[in-house]
Structure 1
């Protein structure tokens, strides 16, 4: 589904991504882990077109999307939920959700997506007419993921979905991601500081440090590797 080859992204003299290569399987959850400053957020921003790479290649579903605009990438079926969700607080929950499917012309499909989102995130059902500014942190994260799902993506990029959330809400979101993988065959690239939570649902994991991949392994193997856990994952 996603194939990244020798990707370099810079901010001035800083190489946030330094020759990074990564790939994901269809209908899988791939965790991207590492300390602050490892390049995790830059990776997602580069994939989704929010940051332009200096060199390297991003291929999605056998199409080279390197340097494409974010809206064109979304139409290809790749949706990005940034850190802290990025919901528009002045809009209602329903308006935020409709915004996610704004470019779609299949009204029946948009309605079906709305139904699916509300089934996945029941707390949003009673908040549809509420401004997003009134939501709790967990509800905002649910809304952000739901808005991304409204575009009917084949792949979801998630940046720190558990940040600042209570353990119970984090568990609920992780279960939703598992359900989307197992039943809807959605592919997920999950950036997380909470390594244990991410690896509990991931099929595979990459560990980054200073913009490079320092380890890649099945999730169970990363959890069992004491050296990696202590050196890079804070576990």
Structure 2
């Protein structure tokens, strides 16, 4: 059985971590499968992605048994090579979802620890069941978060929050995670809410949605004011008067929903 399944319907990709017997814990094979799933969607005819986990938890972190074998090797050779552009394999588990050109929604439940937490950070936003627990678990194993977390977390949470989570490895509940900015919202059924959000996004102009994700990435990157303003103008220029925008205008004037054919 594949460790990650990808199902595309109505321009929405459902990506499911499918190792429920291990609470979707990440070993090297799981990491490869997650990255492969993300990379397969970069050129796909999709408009939104839902990232979820089968079984009792979204992802409980690193597979402890596989980590023992991992730790027995040469850490320099295992961690330092940039195998996926500017990342190693495990960093790409989270960062690949920022490379997917459409919004990615993480539907969280159960344990979202360590590698699972950093994977969720790679999504555009995170919807959590009320019972969700989140943790930067690496300190429990004498490690630091090194799967893209230190790129992604400072965009969401205060420095003191990041430090407390990192130093203690203590799990926090969904309500606390929401207050700290780690998740976007709590829903009675995160998976159903993610479907609703993905369906709403899929009904918007595909080209404008992709342009918005690119523009937000520029704004988050620390680019200077001139670069962000120029990016705004460039993206807008490429949208004005094009087929998707004209469809939106026509639909609004006719008070109906636009129907976009094909991809972006």
In the superposition, the TM-score normalised over structure 1's length comes to 0.31
The higher relative CO (CA closer than 8 Å, separation ≥ 6) is in: 1
Structure with bigger strand share is 1
Structure with bigger helix share is 2
